[in-house]
């Protein structure tokens, strides 16, 4: 079936099955590889993208649920040629170790700051608990988010 998708401000009409996970459409059809496959079961957060501004697990979101919505991936978070302030904070704090989960971490952090521009440390920790990092970069993630909050 043809699915109309708006991703990072660009419109796509894609021939895919409606139950295809959004993650695979983004990676394989749209060609945006920043969103990662971790568990495939909605448990780890590596595949987090925004759907109309809300974080979703793209591994367990059928693409037809995203049709007509605005999808934002890590590639669309900043401005052309300019990192989002969280991406810059991630660089400045050397957050990633292997880096695999970090795009999902940043997408969750971005949603936190959109809904709560001045979170406390406890609120940051609580908001990020759904994103798992095997390398254990949690303390640097919190520090990076706090640096943006000021």
Could you list the residues that contact ligand FES (CB under 6 A)? 37-40, 42-47, 57, 59
Query: Which residue is nearest to ligand FES, using beta carbons?
Result: 59
Comparing CB distances to ligand FES, the nearer of 24 and 90 is 24
Residue-wise DSSP of 6-62:
EETTEEEEEE--TTSBHHHIIIIII----S--SSSSSSS-TTEEEETTEEEEGGGSB
Q: Report the nearest approach of ligand FES to the CB of residue 126 (Å).
A: 18
Q: How far apart are the first and last CA of the chain?
A: 47
Comparing CB distances to ligand FES, the nearer of 83 and 126 is 126
Comparing CB distances to ligand FES, the nearer of 10 and 28 is 28
Q: Report the nearest approach of ligand FES to the CB of residue 22 (Å).
A: 10
Listed residue (20, 9, 15, 27) closest to 69, CA to CA: 9
């Amino acid at each position: 079936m043809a699915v109309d998708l708006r991703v990072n401000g660009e419109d796509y009409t894609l021939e895919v099955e409606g139950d295809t996970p959004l993650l695979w459409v983004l990676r394989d059809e749209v060609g945006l590889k920043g969103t990662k496959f971790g568990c495939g079961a909605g448990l780890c957060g590596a595949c987090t993208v925004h759907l109309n501004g809300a974080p979703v697990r793209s591994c367990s979101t059928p693409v037809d649920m995203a049709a007509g919505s605005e999808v934002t991936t890590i590639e669309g978070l900043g401005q052309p040629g300019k990192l989002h302030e969280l991406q810059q904070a991630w660089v400045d704090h050397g957050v990633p170790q292997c880096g695999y989960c970090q795009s999902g971490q940043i997408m969750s952090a971005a949603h936190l700051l959109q809904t709560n521009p001045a979170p406390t440390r406890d609120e940051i920790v609580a908001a990020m608990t759904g994103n798992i990092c095997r390398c254990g970069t949690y303390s640097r993630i919190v520090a990076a988010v706090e640096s943006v909050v000021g």
